[in-house]
Amino acid sequence: MNRWKISFFVLAGLVSAVAAALVYLIANPGESTPLPKVKIADTAENVLTVRATKEDFEEIANTYIRKAVKGEPLPVIMKITDDVILSSEMTVFSQTLPVIMHFDPIVQEDGNLILKQSSMEIGRLNIPPSTVLKVLRDSVKLPPWMIVRPKEEELFIDLSKIPVSGNLQVKAKAFNLAKDEIILEIIIPKE
């Protein structure tokens, strides 16, 4: 066999190995991030109940995302309609594609939110949601209180970790988008 044939087969093997590795890395959602343990507030603490509309919560959420990234471009923009929509952009092979992810909010017993992915759009590509969430987790710098869990196809919003001045803690009580009723509790610790 001449050296050109050998070189061709070696190069073809390397290209195939790199392509297989890329497909594996993109398709494998990886390990799940465990949900943090949250201390449920003591009933002896002062609790202030706040009712918010979708627009109010949307503005509050985007303000806290903006504060968390400290002047950098917003990694995601939250919009609330009949579901929670996160918009972002993803660059694939020097092409910037819009990414729109739809989530259904679920209030946890501890007052945090889980956004369960219901659908997603990424340009015209048909990519599994877990893969899009994995790429989002690995390529976009999100605030530390937003935990992407690709394997579960969800985003965990740790409301207890949102930096609210005065040692206040925020909990979700109800999140009913059909009735435009969002109820939050602000926990004021006793001194």
The DSSP-derived string for the chain is --HHHHHHHHHHHHHHHHHHHHHHHHH---PPPPPPP-PPPPTTSEEEEEEE-HHHHHHHHHHHHHHHHTTSPPS-EEEESSSEEEEEEEEETTEEEEEEEEEEEEE-TTS-EEEEEEEEEETTB---HHHHHHHHHHHS---TTEEEETTTTEEEE-GGGS--GGG-EEEEEEEETTTTEEEEEEEE---
What's the distance, CA 82 to chain centroid?
Answer: 18
Q: Kindly state the tokens that stand for 26.
A: 């993109």
Lowest mean pLDDT, pick from 14-23, 42-51, 79-88, 151-160: 14-23
**pLDDT for residue 118:** 87
Which residues are registered as beta bridge partners of 121? Answer: 100
Over residues 155-164, the pLDDT tens digits come to: 888 888 888 7
pLDDT at 93 over 80: no
In the chain, pLDDT over 70 holds for what percent of residues? Answer: 84
pLDDT higher for 185 or 15? 185
In the chain, pLDDT over 90 holds for what percent of residues? Answer: 10
Strand order in the sheet with 46-52: 46-52, 181-188, 169-176
Over residues 27-75, the pLDDT tens digits come to: 665 666 666 666 555 555 788 888 988 998 899 888 888 888 787 777 7
Q: Of 64, 34, 153, give the one whose Cα is nearest residue 102.
A: 153
Average pLDDT over the chain reads 80
Give the integer Cα–Cα distance in Å for 28 and 31: 9
Helix 3-27, helix 129-139: angle, nearest 10: 90
